Amino acid sequence: DGRRRGAHRKQLWRGGDDFVHRQRYPIKQAASALREFYKKNFNELNIHKLNFSNNSGLDLDLRVKPQILASFLQATAYKKFNQRYFVTLLSLAGNAGFLAKKFLHEETHLKFYAKTGSLDYVNGICGHVLKSQKSFCLFINNFKLRSELEGKNSKRKDQLRQTAKLWKKKN
């Protein structure tokens, strides 16, 4: 049913330097359009071969490598989308989003844009450093514990999910 929450996206990137076609699209159609966009504009990164699903960040099925995300950020950082440079759509260190209360030291404050993401036993941060104009991406994973969470729920998996919160704070 197309009326379910998350079943549609309000905006769809169809190329060019602007967000266009502001009508609603079914998620499969939106994913297909994104694949075509990435294939046309970033074919060498093979982003179009990734498994797009209904999410807004890290996903179990996406399996994207940090190098691909860093390359994508490097290629798009200073392209304009809807009158803004792509890099400015990320949070500015020490100023906004998750990074607002972090990176307040003089050497890092307002020096880079970044986006964070997490799953149980997976943390990531990707961004772009303003002075060097270089992009970066770092994932910290515990593959063993993350893979134990796959499959049917159990007491062990519930315990792992609880300890994942502590793991995230340490990393």
Per-residue pLDDT of 15-43, as tens digits, reads 444 444 455 667 778 778 888 888 888 88
State the average pLDDT over residues 58-65.
69
Residue closest to 79 by CA, chosen among 31, 9, 10, 19: 19
Length of the chain equals 171
Same domain, 32 and 93: no
13 belongs to a structural domain: yes
Model confidence, pTM: 0.72
- Taking 3-state DSSP, the helix, strand and coil percentages for the chain, each rounded to the nearest 5, stand at 35, 20, 40
101 belongs to a structural domain: yes
Same domain, 137 and 65: yes
pLDDT of residue 16: 43
Same domain, 94 and 23: no
pLDDT of residue 170: 72
At 33, which amino acid appears?
A: A
Same domain, 72 and 39: no
* Digit-coded pLDDT (tens) for 72-93: 999 999 998 888 999 999 999 9
Same domain, 5 and 78: no
Same domain, 48 and 81: no
pLDDT of residue 92: 93
Same domain, 67 and 21: no
CA-CA distance, 57 to 62, in Å (whole number)?
9
Question: How many structural domains comprise the chain?
Answer: 2
| Segment of 17-21, 79-83, 95-99, 106-110 carrying the highest mean pLDDT | 106-110
Q: How confident is the model at residue 160 (pLDDT cuts 50, 70, 90)?
A: very high
Same domain, 65 and 135: yes
Same domain, 135 and 72: yes
161 belongs to a structural domain: no
pLDDT of residue 19: 44
Q: How confident is the model at residue 111 (pLDDT cuts 50, 70, 90)?
A: very high
Same domain, 82 and 42: no
The more confidently predicted of residues 53 and 134 is 134
159 belongs to a structural domain: no
Task: Identify the domain containing residue 48 by its residue range.
Answer: 1-54
